[in-house]
Amino acid sequence: MLNGGKLEMQFDFFDIPGSIMHFAINDPSAFILGRLKEHHSYTYFHSLRVAHYSLELAKMMGLYRLEQQVLVRSALLHDVGKLFVAREILDKKERLNEEELRILRLHPQFGFEIVQEMVNPGLVDLDVLLYHHENLDGTGYPFGLTGKFLSLPVRIVRLADSFDAMTTVRAYNQPKSLEQAMNELVRWSGEHFDLEVVKIFEQYIYYRSM
């Protein structure tokens, strides 16, 4: 909501629309998501919110309905590789040591492998799983790819993922305000985030906040 000219919004799982919940529960990939919910419920609800933001962006950017469906499913599954990362690492309050960080940063590849094996080809955009921590300027992981390798769906989920991580409470940090999170997206646009995707997301947040 707009409060004295300032953007304010509270995020929790109640904000996830029924359509996304319905998709997550009834989709052919639901059995994997169910496992994720048992393993780490924060990641499950984070994935629902990421799917929601990704869908809103996809609609505003004119993706076709089928592309939207694949994007939603891929966003729901983007962090599913965390099934192979111990809860102690995912919830650790202190800074991760080198080995823990190495394991955490394997989750895009773990997710790629699980989904490639268990979900019919064509239903998921595997690039989203594998590249959702890559940055346009090549500073991301696991491969340090640059923008020319990163498709629009990857760029959408990259932003949706970061925005949700910044605006929700996690074991190791306090959430940023909506204004701080938007400033961060703008600050890193062109380097971490796609300029156009950031612009469209600003419009989405503005209209949702009215």
Rounded to whole angstroms, how far apart are CA atoms 139 and 162?
15
The residue among 79 and 164 lying less far from Fe ion, judged by its C-beta, is 79
Minimum CB distance to Fe ion, residue 132 (Å): 6
Residues near 80 by Cβ (< 8 Å), separated by ≥ 6?
32, 33, 36, 47, 110, 111, 114, 115, 129
Residue ranges in 66-85 that form contacts with Fe ion under rule CB under 5 A: 79
In the complex, which residue's CB is closest to Fe ion? 79
Minimum CB distance to Fe ion, residue 183 (Å): 22
The residue among 1 and 101 lying less far from Fe ion, judged by its C-beta, is 101
How many Cα atoms sit within 13 Å of 154 on the Cβ side?
21
Binding characters for Fe ion, 78-117, by CB under 5 A (x = yes): -x--------------------------------------
How many Cα atoms sit within 13 Å of 167 on the Cβ side?
28
Q: What is the 3-state secondary structure (H, E, C) of 3-29?
A: ECCEECCCCCHHHCCHHHHHHHHHCCC
The residue among 111 and 189 lying less far from Fe ion, judged by its C-beta, is 111
Minimum CB distance to Fe ion, residue 134 (Å): 11
Residues near 19 by Cβ (< 8 Å), separated by ≥ 6?
none
The residue among 119 and 130 lying less far from Fe ion, judged by its C-beta, is 130
Rounded to whole angstroms, how far apart are CA atoms 20 and 7?
25
Minimum CB distance to Fe ion, residue 54 (Å): 13
Rounded to whole angstroms, how far apart are CA atoms 110 and 114?
6
Minimum CB distance to Fe ion, residue 8 (Å): 27
Count H helices, E strands: the chain?
Answer: 11, 2
- The count of chain residues that interact with Fe ion, using the rule CB under 5 A, is 1
Rounded to whole angstroms, how far apart are CA atoms 73 and 129?
10
The residue among 79 and 125 lying less far from Fe ion, judged by its C-beta, is 79
Residue 134 found at the interface with Fe ion (CB under 5 A): no
Q: Give phi and psi for 189, each to the nearest 5.
A: -70, 140
The residue among 60 and 104 lying less far from Fe ion, judged by its C-beta, is 104
Binding residues for Fe ion (CB under 5 A): 79
